[in-house]
Structure 1
Amino acid sequence: MNLAEGVQIVSLGILGVLMLASALGVVLLSNIVYSAFLLAMVFASISGLYILLNAGFVAAAQILVYVGAVNILILFGIMLVNKREDFQPVANAWIGKAATAAVCAGLFALLSSMVLATPWHLSSAIPAGEAAIEVIGQHFFSDFLLPFELASVLLLMALVGAIILARREYVPDEEPENEQKVLTLRERPRELVAAASNDLQND
């Protein structure tokens, strides 16, 4: 084993431990903001694994899309909503925790069996090399165009939903009696800036 292989093995171990610890923090911490930041750490660790696999474009896409877009969108949604509710204990909460642990253990066993049963031999296909970005772009706009567009629409829907939930916080608790009810979301009253009228008076 030379120095390069040793560095790769050590980096793989560090990234694996960091990813598993961050993933456990995401599901175990009660503070949702901390969970969102740890989720960004999970995405960054996965990007490091892609770098070890010589998949530079996938690693950059992981950082740009998941850390720079999806995770930031989650943080914006959390901070825009900013709902504070008192904790109410749930009856028989251990049943849900036990079911979650059973599902996680089953998924772990399934993935472990797939890893052990998969023949990890080197493929005989010629690697794309520097033309990998062109090949991926061709697949994005031909074979995977529909999933690519659906993902962008899904992210847009999540952003609009976060904004709507944030605006609901401004609705007063008591509604005026004489106000006509319409199927629109009421906003916080704002002071109108009469900039145009001031400019006309100055002229």
Structure 2
Amino acid sequence: MSLGEGVQLGVFGILSLLAIGFAVGVVFAPNIVYSGFLLAGVFLSMAGLYLLLNADFVAAAQVLIYVGAVNVLILFAIMLVNRRYVFKPLQLGWLRNGATAAVCLGLFALLATAITQTPWPEQPIAAISSVEVIGGHFFSDYLLPFEVASVLLLMALVGAIVLARRDFIIGALPEDLSGGEQSLLERYRPLIAADVEDDTEAEAAELASSGS
């Protein structure tokens, strides 16, 4: 084994351990916001693995799309809908955990068998531009999944906009608010009401001008 192959193998091991560690942290983190940040670590580790496979375009797309768009969108959704739930312990939880562990072990055994039984080519394959290959597959074999993914991302973006533009409801105070939260809402209620009134007057004036 040459020095370059040893370095590549070491980097592969480090990135694999980082990806597995971040993934375990996503599942077991006590705070869901921390899980979102750990998910970004998983995506970055996967981008490093793509670089080791000479798929530079896929690595850049991994960082731009998953870390820069999807993960940020997930964090925005978590922070905008940051409600605290009290989860009750599930009945027969050990049975569900056992079934999940059995499925994970079965998938691991299946992947390990496929990797060991696949006749991998020993000679290096001629390098082809990854951008050209990906573009050809996108607009031929995987056109429908590509469009479906685009629609799903658009739906997620619209949902984030709807969550970000939640309007204040000027009405009775919620009964489950504490005294400090009620006094704070009472303090800002006139400002909120004035803001809503100004918006209503501006819309009415705009409609009147457009009608005339």
Aligned-residue offset at 1:192: 2.0
1:154 to 152, 155, 158: 152
Contact 1:77/1:159 (<8 A) preserved: no
Comparing 74-83 with 12-21, greater Cα deviation is found at 74-83
SS at 1:109 equivalent: helix
For 2:2 and 2:19, how far apart are their aligned partners in 1? 26
Comparing 41-50 with 141-150, greater Cα deviation is found at 141-150
Contact 1:81/1:162 (<8 A) preserved: no
Match of 2:141 in 1: 143
Distance 1:41 1:170, change over 3 A: same
Q: Which has the higher helix share?
A: 2
For 1:19 and 1:77, how far apart are their aligned partners in 2? 23
For 1:21 and 1:56, how far apart are their aligned partners in 2? 24
Structure 2, unaligned stretches of length 5 or more? 174-191, 206-212
SS at 1:192 equivalent: helix
**Equivalent residue runs for 1:156-171 within 5 Å:** 156-164=154-162, 170=168
Q: Which amino acid aligns with 1:151?
A: A
Contact 1:80/1:163 (<8 A) preserved: no
Q: Which amino acid aligns with 1:7?
A: V
Match of 1:6 in 2: 6
Aligned-residue offset at 1:170: 4.7
1:56 lines up with 2:56 in the alignment? yes
* CA deviation vs aligned residue, 1:113-170 (integer Å, no higher than 9, x gap): 1111111224675331xx4323322332333222111101111212333444566685
Aligned-residue offset at 1:29: 2.2
Q: Which amino acid aligns with 2:88?
A: Q
1:92 lines up with 2:98 in the alignment? no
Distance 1:7 1:37, change over 3 A: same
Match of 2:113 in 1: 113
Cα-Cα RMSD:
2.9
